[in-house]
Amino acid sequence: MSAPRKFRLSTSRLTALFAAIFAAGIAILLTTVYILTARVLDHEVDVVIQAEVNGLIDDYRRGGVLQLVETLHRRADSWGRTGAVYLLVDAQGRRIAGNIAGWPEQIATSDAWIEFEIDASEHGGVVAHPVRAQIFKLPSGRSLLVGTDILERKQLASRLRSAMIWGTSLCLALAVPVTYFYSQRVRRRIAAVATTCESIMTGRLSERLPVEGSHDEFDELAKTVNGMLDRIEQQTSVLRTTFDSAAHDLRAPLYRARVRIEEALQHPDLASGSREVMDATLAELDRVQRTLGTLLQIAQADGSARELALQAVDLAELAREIVDLYQPEASERGLSLAFSGETHAIIRGNQQLLAQALVNLVENALKYVPASGRIDVAVETTSNEVNLTVADNGPGVPAAEREHILQPFVRLERDRTQTGSGLGLSLVAAVMRLHRGTVELSDNAPGLRVACRFQKG
């Protein structure tokens, strides 16, 4: 199965959807944690800085610039202990006091909150430390900068981002196999149900949907459907038995009635009027017997109680024989009947029923195609199928009636005057169901094209 076709399956889409939802949920959760944590850390930093600024402003208000400078001198070594940064500059930006050398580059004194980097000596090297600071304007154009080292906060934020990425990736890596395993399980259950249903549709009414004992929705559905199938099998068995018995029981009296009529026709003193009535009665008896025979064949093809013998059948050779058999009748009616296609086409099937189905198709065409018409029988093979086609240039069948006409006793209104019981195509459909094939009626432009497709193997 190709990748595009496989992805179109519901279970494949379900796997991708579950994995995407799971990964998106984890990503949203971790992103939210990261954002909230970063905000809390930023807020704590801002609170600490604001408290420092308020303390220094109080010193300034009590003792002026001298008191503020004295306080800054006392806290000059705070960088090493707390990561605190202080700087007082005059209106020209010259340093008055603090523990950094000068005003950060490309930072205006008019900004309220700023972030910049300073270089610090650590472990025999120079390390850049990010700093977040607040600027407070003093009289006479002086500016006070108070900040703190936020390297640890940046490192924590970086670790949180890494954790978010790795967490999402690992969750996705876990979600994909878990959801794939579950989707495969669902696909396997659905495939088992589909296989069983296909087997039931071919006439094996004893088949049942698998129940794994997991007590899930599939088991509940299987139990319900199996109960329905039990009831259908029971009713079908009763109907089939009744139908078979009635059909077989009718054969004997019909045969005896026919024999008696034929014996009566042998009397030379039989009135001409009675003879005509008896001849018409014989014709009706023949029609009833043919209908019963066809019904029994349909029951045989659709029945599961009888295991029909299936053997290798050369469908191409069988089709040629049927065409040769009906060639004289076609010529008598002024019709062209021809075979084309493969020399040999082997399928597994019941030769008697296949022959009867093909006979029905050819006889239908002979009945409805007008003089000088054409009937083409073809057998072609592909890599997976053997196709039997019977096409003619007769009146055809309206598109709306093509499915309906495959049912027993269904005939087109225009064909009511023709002899027949409306069972020919229904027998063909029953034979195709037995062989797990399909029958399709289409327009031959003009005429009818009947395509019977058999699976190889």
User: Residues 292-307: what's their mean pLDDT?
Assistant: 60
Q: Are residues 298 and 317 in the same domain?
A: no
Contact of 375 with 336, CB cutoff 8 Å: yes
CB atoms within 10 A of CB 324: 11
Residue 99 makes CB contacts below 8 A (sequence gap 6+) with: 72, 75, 76, 77, 78, 79, 84, 85, 86, 87
Same domain, 103 and 236: no
Mean pLDDT along residues 94-112: 79
List the structure tokens of 152: 């640890």
Q: Can you give the pLDDT at residue 387?
A: 94
What was the pLDDT predicted at 450? 93
Residue 2: phi and psi, rounded to 5, are -70, 160
Question: What does the pLDDT average to over 97-113?
Answer: 78
Structure tokens at 160: 């949180």
pLDDT at 420: 59
Domain limits at 390?
A: 311-455
Q: Are residues 316 and 414 in the same domain?
A: yes
Tell me whether residue 367 is in a domain: yes
**pLDDT at residue 203, rounded to an integer:** 65
CATH assignment at residue 59: 3.30.450
Best-predicted range by mean pLDDT among 30-34, 149-153, 221-225, 387-391? 387-391
275 with 352, same domain: the answer is no
| 3-state SS record for the chain | CCHHHHHCCHHHHHHHHHHHHHHHHHHHHHHHHHHHHHHHHHHHHHHHHHHHHHHHHHHHHHHHHHHHHHHHHHCCCHHHHHCEEEEEECCCCCEEEECCCCCCCCCCCCCCEEEEEEEEEECCEEEEEEEEEEEEECHHHCEEEEEEECHHHHHHHHHHHHHHHHHHHHHHHHHHHHHHHHHHHHHHHHHHHHHHHHHHHCCCCCCCCCCCCCCCHHHHHHHHHHHHHHHHHHHHHHHHHHHHHHHHHHHHHHHHHHHHHHHHHCCCCCCHHHHHHHHHHHHHHHHHHHHHHHHHHHHHHHCCCCCCCCEEEEHHHHHHHHHHHHHHHHHHCCCEEEEEECCCCEEEECHHHHHHHHHHHHHHHHHHCCCCCEEEEEEEECCCEEEEEEEECCCCCCHHHCCHHHCCCCCCHHHCCCCCCCCHHHHHHHHHHHCCCEEEEEECCCCEEEEEEEECC
Q: Which two tokens stand for residue 358?
A: 């093909």
Instruction: Tell me, yes or no, whether 407 and 430 share the same domain.
Output: yes
The verdict on residue 181 lying in a domain is no
- Do 22 and 129 reside in the same domain of the chain? yes
d(Cα 225, Cα 200) in Å, to the nearest integer?
A: 12
Q: Between 441 and 12, where is the model more confident?
A: 441
In a domain, 451, yes or no: yes
- pLDDT band at residue 82 under the 50/70/90 scheme: low
Residue 308 — pLDDT band, cuts 50, 70, 90? low
Q: Based on the domain organization, do 315 and 297 belong to the same domain? A: no
What are φ and ψ of residue 106, in 5° steps? 60, 25
Span 124-148, mean pLDDT?
A: 84
For residues 221 and 319, state if they share a domain: no
- Among 108-122, 150-164, 295-309, whose mean pLDDT is lowest? 295-309
More confident residue, 4 or 283: 283
Of 283, 302, 321, the residue at which a domain comes to its end is 302
Residue 392 lies in a domain: yes
Residue 323 region, left (φ>0) first, then alpha (ψ -120 to 50), else beta? alpha
Domain match, 148 and 227 both: no
Q: Is residue 188 part of a domain?
A: no
pLDDT confidence band for 236 (50 / 70 / 90): confident
User: What pLDDT, in 10s, does the model give residues 378-428?
Assistant: 999 988 899 999 999 988 888 888 888 887 767 666 666 666 566 678 888
Q: Does residue 289 lie within any of the structural domains? A: yes
What are the residues whose beta carbons fall under 8 Å from the beta carbon of 371, sequence distance 6 or more?
333, 334, 335
Predicted local confidence at residue 294, as pLDDT? 65
302 compared with 211, residue with greater pLDDT: 211
Same domain membership, residue 127 and residue 69: yes
Residue 212's alpha-carbon distances to 86, 189, 193, 220, 231, in angstroms, are 75, 9, 12, 10, 22
Among 138-147, 258-267, 315-324, 340-349, the least confident range:
258-267
**Has this prediction a pTM greater than 0.85?**
no
- pLDDT mean over 300-322: 76
Per-residue pLDDT at 3: 43
Residue 320 and residue 356 in one domain? yes
pLDDT band at 304 (very low <50, low <70, confident <90, very high): very low
Angle at CA of residue 93, ends 87 and 96, nearest 5°: 45
**Pick the residue with more confidence: 247 or 28?**
28
Residue 284 corresponds to which tokens in the numbers above?
Answer: 């009706």
Q: Which of 255, 272, 302 is the last residue of a domain?
A: 302
Render pLDDT for 180-225 as a digit per residue (tens, 0 to 9).
Answer: 787 788 888 888 888 888 877 766 777 888 888 878 888 888 889 8
Domain CATH code at residue 407: 3.30.565.10
91 in Cβ contact with 140 (< 8 Å)? yes
Q: What is the pLDDT of residues 38-62, one digit of tens each?
A: 888 888 888 988 888 888 888 888 8
Domain membership flag for residue 171: no
Domain final residue, candidates 302, 337, 368: 302
| CA distance readout (Å), 401 to 47, 411, 440, 441 | 84, 9, 12, 10
pLDDT at 165: 84
Domain CATH code at residue 246 = 1.20.58
Are 334 and 449 within one domain?
yes
Instruction: Please tell me the least confidently modeled range out of 110-119, 197-206, 252-261.
Output: 197-206
* pLDDT interval class at 110 (50, 70, 90): low
Q: Is 32 exposed, middle or buried (0-12, 13-18, 19+ CB in 10 A)?
A: exposed
Domain count, the chain: 3
Structure tokens at 293: 């025979």
**Is residue 146 within 8 Å of residue 60, measured between CB atoms?**
no
Residue 357 lies in a domain: yes
Question: How would residue 123 be classed by pLDDT, with cut points 50, 70 and 90?
Answer: low
Whether the predicted pLDDT of 157 surpasses 50: yes
| Under 8 Å between Cβ of 393 and 336 | no
pLDDT the model gives residue 4: 43
Mean pLDDT across the chain, nearest whole number? 81
